[in-house]
Amino acid sequence: MDIENLKNIWQKKYADVPLQLQKVKNIKTVATAFNTNVDAVLKIKGESLKKLILDNNIPLSSLDNITLTEMHLPTDVILGIVKCFVRGIAEEWVTEDKSIYDWMAQNLGYDRLQMGGQGGIIANTLALLKINKVIAHTNSHPALQAEQFLDLDNLFAIDENGELAKACEISRDNDIPLIHWIIEFDKGDSFNIDGKEFTCPKSNRFIATYDPLNLNLVIDRNFVSYLNNTQIDYLILSGFHPLLARKNGIELIKNAVPLIKQWQKNNPQMITHLEVASTQDLAVRKAIVEYIAPLMQSAGLNERETIDLLNVCDGKDLAQKIERETTAPNLFDALLYLKQKLDIPRLQLHMFGLYLTLQDARFPFSGVENLRGMLTAAVVSSSKAYNGALEKYQDITLTLDVPPSDIGLGELTSLAQKLNKPELAENGICEFNGMFVSAVPTILVDKPKTLVGMGDTISSISLIAGR
């Protein structure tokens, strides 16, 4: 079938989204944990990056093939930006050195502050979708953090007295604000130093994080006991990714296990989802696979995180193959491999242009339901990219009439061919080795106003709207 016909078929499927959005309103309670912070967002132009390099006397030779993954010096921030800019990739580097934070505050500045952290971003989005009650874990909640929460009556966190309260009105004045720098850059932007050209192949972002609380997985015990005494439908977890093994990261992960188990014991019907996120420390990544993944009913990840997980799950060859060719057929193989390794009932990938889920009979919702969840996620997340933020209910469906992308339709078609399942291209679902595969070509926005938090939005909405 040609791509225009396929596009028409898919555009009709997108017409189901308003109904899914109605169903979402029946969900009673969702909790998000653990990481909430404030993001200071800065769009950097090639020329400003060049100025930073020159002003800080960074030698041209150190810009070749940067392998660093965390910051030890203020100038490492610049290396991180260059690394992501020239490869068009997304990375997050962390530091425990406050002088690096101070350097960023003085030398980078920012365009705006917004909600940060998977937990915080997901809480805002799900509350906007009118789920009855959304509870976010915050280990720091001063007024600056509260201001990043949407002013919604269904959005809660724990206040200074340990009680549940409207998140945007809490002011735990003794807490320190946790600000992460999000440095975004645009595809096609470039700069030239001494005749050497640096061009950005894909719009993306670099995150520089100084955050003593989230980096130590500090958990609010009032939140823990609140969840122990409340019926929860979905628990969406993240925040293990910035931990460092040499800073007790493995112990911190192990310590979270009994908490999660207790919450699950109190809520046997609850679906627990892990948003994998960019995890630089290999030992931490392994510990997430070993201790956290087995407790989950669902997990979400992007192309990069898929490669990262393969690298700690004896899947190096597959990882290299995907590094060379980041295609849906190769990523499908990876997902299949990881699903078995992690033994997780539902695993969802969001790649550029396509969302792909593998699930088995243990997951309580069907492949068709999941497909509708992914369609909903594609609309809401592309509306966010288009609009720059989601602040009002009307914002979530701004792209409802935009057709799915050719890139996504192409990836879907080649996946259907590889699996020898022609029905997958038109229906978006098929069975494979006793599992349910669902895939959706997504809506791509030409000039996205924002990209940060996109994966969090996609994963959480696919999950909760898959019904």
Residues that bind ligand GLC (CB under 6 A): 35, 37, 39, 92, 116-118, 121, 180, 207, 209, 277, 452-453, 456
Q: Are 437 and 431 in contact (CB under 8 A)?
A: yes
Closer to ligand GLC by CB, 112 or 362: give it: 112
Smallest separation (angstroms) from ligand GLC to the CB of 219: 16
Closer to ligand GLC by CB, 116 or 404: give it: 116
Closer to ligand GLC by CB, 120 or 466: give it: 120
Closer to ligand GLC by CB, 233 or 456: give it: 456
Q: Strand, helix or coil at 256? A: helix
Burial 255-274 (b: 16+ CB within 10 A, else e): ebeebbeebbeebeebbbbb
DSSP annotation of 343 reads T
What's the CA gap between 133 and 135, in Å, rounded? Answer: 7
Q: Strand, helix or coil at 433? A: coil
Smallest separation (angstroms) from ligand GLC to the CB of 312: 19
Q: Are 370 and 359 in contact (CB under 8 A)?
A: yes
Smallest separation (angstroms) from ligand GLC to the CB of 451: 9
Closer to ligand GLC by CB, 146 or 452: give it: 452
How far is the CA of 226 from the CAs of 67, 68, 140, 239, 261, in angstroms?
43, 40, 17, 19, 15
Residue type at position 447: K
Smallest separation (angstroms) from ligand GLC to the CB of 455: 6
Closer to ligand GLC by CB, 220 or 275: give it: 275
Smallest separation (angstroms) from ligand GLC to the CB of 164: 24
Smallest separation (angstroms) from ligand GLC to the CB of 118: 5
Closer to ligand GLC by CB, 125 or 438: give it: 125
Let me know if 392 is exposed, middle or buried by CB neighbors in 10 A (0-12, 13-18, 19+): exposed
Smallest separation (angstroms) from ligand GLC to the CB of 67: 21
Rounded to a whole number of angstroms, the CA Rg of the chain reads: 21
What's the CA gap between 222 and 260, in Å, rounded? Answer: 15
